[in-house]
């Protein structure tokens, strides 16, 4: 619980909240916090999910494209991921987000998710060897 408090109780989070951008977690690759983008009204408060790059501290240019169209789509994708990762490689699973969330991950989030998949594939090939290279 303390980690959540630390993520939300600081000057950086306060500056985002003042701009109707609400941090709620971490992106996972040390980029910055995951945020609800509340700058526009949306039905049932299903705000799009973005992340905010720490390198742009306080500058709204640090906000990413929408990577999930809503929190419910984030949960659908993560639930799917957690089930699939038992039998498939991460880089094979990520592109399935495009079908689960065509308005977020599959639209404005495509580049972000393709970069994530490529990074996981590259890491696997680096640490396990590329089976097609004869290693």
Confidence of residue 119 (pLDDT cuts 50, 70, 90): very high
Can you tell me whether residue 23 is helix, strand or coil? strand
Over range 127-135, report the average pLDDT.
Answer: 55
Structure tokens at 24: 């709620």
Confidence of residue 135 (pLDDT cuts 50, 70, 90): very low
Q: Tell me if 58 sits within 8 A of 15, measured CB to CB.
A: yes
Q: Tell me if 91 sits within 8 A of 120, measured CB to CB.
A: yes
pLDDT given for residue 49 in this prediction: 98
Residue 133 clears pLDDT 50, i.e. is over it: no
**Whole-structure pTM over 0.95, yes or no?**
no
Q: Which residues of 106-124 are buried (b: 16+ CB within 10 A; e: fewer)?
A: bebbbebbeebbeebbeee
Residue 96 clears pLDDT 50, i.e. is over it: yes
Q: Tell me if 80 sits within 8 A of 91, measured CB to CB.
A: no
pLDDT given for residue 68 in this prediction: 98
- Within 10 angstroms of residue 132's Cβ, the number of other Cβ atoms is 7
- Tell me the per-residue pLDDT of 15-55, one tens digit each, with 9 for 90 and over: 899 999 999 988 877 788 999 999 999 999 899 999 998 88
**Per-domain residue ranges for the chain?**
1-64, 71-135
Averaged pLDDT of the chain: 89
More confident residue, 40 or 57: 40
């Amino acid at each position: 619980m303390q980690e959540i408090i630390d993520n939300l109780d600081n000057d950086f989070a306060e500056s985002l909240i003042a701009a109707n951008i609400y941090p709620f977690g971490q992106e996972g690759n040390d980029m910055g916090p995951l945020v609800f983008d509340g700058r526009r009204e949306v039905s049932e408060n299903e705000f799009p999910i973005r992340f905010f790059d720490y390198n742009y501290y306080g500058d709204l240019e640090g906000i990413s494209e929408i990577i999930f169209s809503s929190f419910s789509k984030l949960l659908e994708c993560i639930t799917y991921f957690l089930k699939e990762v038992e039998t498939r490689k991460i880089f094979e699973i990520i592109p399935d987000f495009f079908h689960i969330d065509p308005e977020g991950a599959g639209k404005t989030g495509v580049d972000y998710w393709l970069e994530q998949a490529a990074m996981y594939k590259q890491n696997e090939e680096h640490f396990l060897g590329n089976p097609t290279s004869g290693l």
